[in-house]
Amino acid sequence: MLDGADGPSTGKSVSDLAWTGEPETEEIHDFLLAVREADGRPEDTGFDGGEHLLGHVDGELVAYAHLDTEGDSHGNQVAELFVHPAHRRSGHGRALTKALAEHVAGKPLRVWAHGDHPAAVHIAGTEGFERARELLILHADAEAADWPEPVTREGVTLRTFVPGQDEEAMVRVNARAFDWHPEQGALTADEVRATEKEAWFDPEGFFLAEEDGKVIGFHWTKVHEAVPGRFGGEPAGEVYVVGIDPDAQGGGLGKALTLAGLRYLRDRGLGQVILYVEGDNAPALAVYSKLGFTRYEVDVQYAR
């Protein structure tokens, strides 16, 4: 529902709530940076596109919400809400929630609660939102884990991603593997190309499985720089996305791809690896448990 709902009280309510499509980005960056320093979230300190709800007290930004109006592949608009660490327990989170619900009245809405904070649970329950989705964050100690060499079935080979060559093939597999997923299934080749320009992108950590010259699976890894209050303040590798073409499932392909990425992250000197997995994905949870992953945190989407 909102990130960081706890902290000292200012005693002042939001006097100025306003929606805009063109916010002052520096103001939002500084605001979100303060939230991240207190909570370890959000990872990014800015949101592109959509609509922005700004809450000011005496000219200071104390509450902020971003609404993704394009939404997910299931037709839901998706929002994230934040309250400045120095202005919490003053009703700002509830004010944001009410304004958001009124703004999108009659349209399907999902709101993220990162870490499932107790205050978010309370606001959701009293404002008519229902728990709709759990996204688990799992964690593994890379130094202690026993990750053997990946083994593929006969005829399947592993290689690394080639920018400018493999985007379309990877996206085709992704679309088939995640046709049920509200975000991942909508990935486009242009979005992959845009991500290749990000500082964290590393094709050597992007593994493809091929059979008869056709891409049938992939494991895309990511490295997070150290963030205070997040994963012990140390860098972390991530099992970013593992996708297998439904027609190619079986024979341990998913495990082989996962192991290739895990061993790569460990070889880079990373002491910990995280991943996100849907809370109701029992088969994936079983696989990751055997690889040494345990539950670290949970993000929740509330629906209205």
Binding site, annotated residues for acetyl-CoA: 81-83, 242-244, 249-255
- Tell me the per-residue pLDDT of 127-173, one tens digit each, with 9 for 90 and over: 999 999 999 999 999 999 999 999 999 999 999 999 999 999 999 99
Beta bridge partners of 303: 110, 130
Residue 7 vs residue 138, higher pLDDT: 138
Peptide bond into 118 cis (omega under 30): no
Under DSSP, the state recorded for 69 is: S
Which DSSP symbol is given to 224?
E
SS3 58: coil
Whether residue 111 has pLDDT greater than 90: yes
Q: Are strands 236-244 and 16-20 parallel, antiparallel or unpaired?
A: unpaired
Highest mean pLDDT: which range of 70-74, 230-234, 240-244: 240-244
Fold observed for domain 16-128: Aminopeptidase (3.40.630)
Task: Place 210 in a pLDDT band, splitting at 50, 70 and 90.
Answer: very high
Distance CA 55, CA 98 (A): 12
Question: Which CATH architecture describes the domain 139-297?
Answer: 3-Layer(aba) Sandwich (3.40)
Query: Region 165-194: what's the mean pLDDT?
Result: 92
Residues of the chain with pLDDT > 90, as a percent, come to 78
pTM higher than the cut 0.95: no
Q: What is the tens place of the pLDDT at every residue in 263-288?
A: 999 999 999 999 999 999 998 899 89
Q: How confident is the model at residue 41 (pLDDT cuts 50, 70, 90)?
A: confident
- Whole-number pLDDT of residue 6: 46
Could you state, in order of their start, the residue ranges of all structural domains in the chain? Answer: 16-128, 139-297
- For residue 207, give both structure tokens: 């593994």
Regarding predicted confidence, which is higher, 12 or 128? Answer: 128
Q: In the numeric block, which tokens belong to residue 211? A: 């059979």
Q: Name the pairing type of β-strands 130-141 and 272-278.
A: antiparallel
Q: How confident is the model at residue 298 (pLDDT cuts 50, 70, 90)?
A: very high
Q: Would you list which residues are annotated within the binding site?
A: 81-83, 183, 222, 238, 242-244, 249-255, 276
Q: What is the DSSP string of 55-90?
A: EEETTEEEEEEEEESS--TTS-EEEEEEE-GGG-SS
